[in-house]
Amino acid sequence: MDLTFDYFIENRSDILITRNTVPIVSGLVGSQLPRVNMGKINNMGFEVSLAYKKFFTKDLSANIGGNFSYAKNKVIEADEAILSKDYAYRYRETGYSLGQNWGYVIDHSVDSEHGKDGSGFFNSKEDIKNSGLTYETGGGNPLPGDFIYKDLNGDNVINERDMAPIKYSSLVPRLNYGFNLGGSFYGIDLSIMFQGVGQYSKYYSGRGIFEEEGSKYFLDICDNRWTAERYANGDKITHPRLANSGSTSHVENDYYIMDASYMRLKKAEIGYTFPSRLIKKMKISNVRVNISGDNLCTWTNLLTKAFDPEQTSVLDYPLMRTFSCGLNLQF
């Protein structure tokens, strides 16, 4: 058995960054200023790997192996100006991981006086009026079937000042892992490999996600959309109303910032090596046949099956499932 464990702490400084705190009255915008070595980022994590193989007899063996890694970074210095006190969160980079997702938090609280029934949706015009909220998120004014957002700074206005860190980074996953199983039995060999990531989030938007954009086609997540009829019938509702134009629901929020973690059956192969006594008369030293498949199955927490978690957009070319067979002859 081979077991290894590595732990690391990396504190980087003097990273080349663009200045963000030079006043505009200087006559220069950030892109016109020379880049400076001011950035600081701390990284920590570990990796563990295991490999084990056991021969029970000359014709029977089994093996198992795997790896697991965790890595987290934190921005210490990004030359970022602190936001005013009316922001719920006064930094967007400092103190967070690189690529941290930001958006509006959907309000699932119950407060009948202010039109909240725990569903996270406005269900009538009266709910919108009773909420006392003014929306400045883009997409116009909310309508029945739109998300209710939390007013995090308490000013009764929903705008960028209420944005909060949501889930994880969209740059790289914090968790990466893989493991494999295999063995042989009287000439039959089998190998299976799994691969996955965790603590990883992406904001999905644009054509193919927001139905008012592009060719106006709908994903499977729209099956549980809000409509007045479905709400009145008590049907399961997880998706906001469909929009023909802008919608206050179609912005960064904790619905469209999805959990992009997954586990994939990356590869599986089964083969058979013919006994030498059957092939020696053909003057062949070895014959092996096999069949294999790649990207056979994926388990994911995405809200839709319309695209793969490794795709950055629903319009990207999908990852293909492939099968192949082979014959190996050695003379």
Mean pLDDT for the stretch of residues 296-313 = 88
For residue 128, what are the contacts with CB-CB under 8 A and spacing of at least 6? 115, 122, 141, 142, 143, 144
Cα(154)–Cα(44) distance, integer angstroms: 36
Nearest to 313 by CA among 177, 204, 218: 204
pLDDT band at 325 (very low <50, low <70, confident <90, very high): very high
Instruction: State the CB neighbour count (10 A cutoff) for residue 320.
Output: 8
Can you give the pLDDT at residue 28? 63
Can you give the pLDDT at residue 263? 97
State how far the alpha carbon of 294 is from the alpha carbons of 194, 195, 265, in Å.
10, 12, 8
Nearest to 39 by CA among 101, 82, 93: 93
Nearest to 265 by CA among 292, 307, 291, 294: 294
Can you give the pLDDT at residue 228? 94
pLDDT band at 114 (very low <50, low <70, confident <90, very high): confident
State what percent of residues in the chain have pLDDT above 90.
Answer: 69
What is the torsion angle, in degrees rounded to the nearest 10, for the CA atoms of residue 228, residue 232, residue 238 and residue 244?
Answer: -10
Cα(124)–Cα(290) distance, integer angstroms: 61
Read off the tokens for 78.
């990004």
Q: Count Cα atoms within 13 angstroms, Cβ side, for 232.
A: 4
Question: Quick check: 89 and 165 in contact, CB under 8 A?
Answer: yes
User: Which domain does 322 fall in, by range?
Assistant: 2-330
State how far the alpha carbon of 300 is from the alpha carbons of 194, 240, 263, 264, 290, in Å.
13, 22, 7, 8, 29
**pLDDT above 90 for 70:** yes
**pLDDT above 80 for 14:** yes
**What pLDDT, in 10s, does the model give residues 121-173?**
999 999 999 999 999 998 889 999 999 999 999 999 999 999 999 999 999 99
Can you give the pLDDT at residue 175? 97
**pLDDT above 60 for 25:** no
pLDDT band at 214 (very low <50, low <70, confident <90, very high): low
Can you give the pLDDT at residue 217? 72
pTM: 0.87
Nearest to 121 by CA among 143, 152, 154: 143
Can you give the pLDDT at residue 260? 94
Q: For the chain, how many structural domains are there in total?
A: 1
Is 151 or 282 the better-scoring residue by pLDDT?
151
**What pLDDT, in 10s, does the model give residues 173-207?**
999 999 999 999 989 999 999 999 999 999 998 88
Cα(179)–Cα(18) distance, integer angstroms: 41
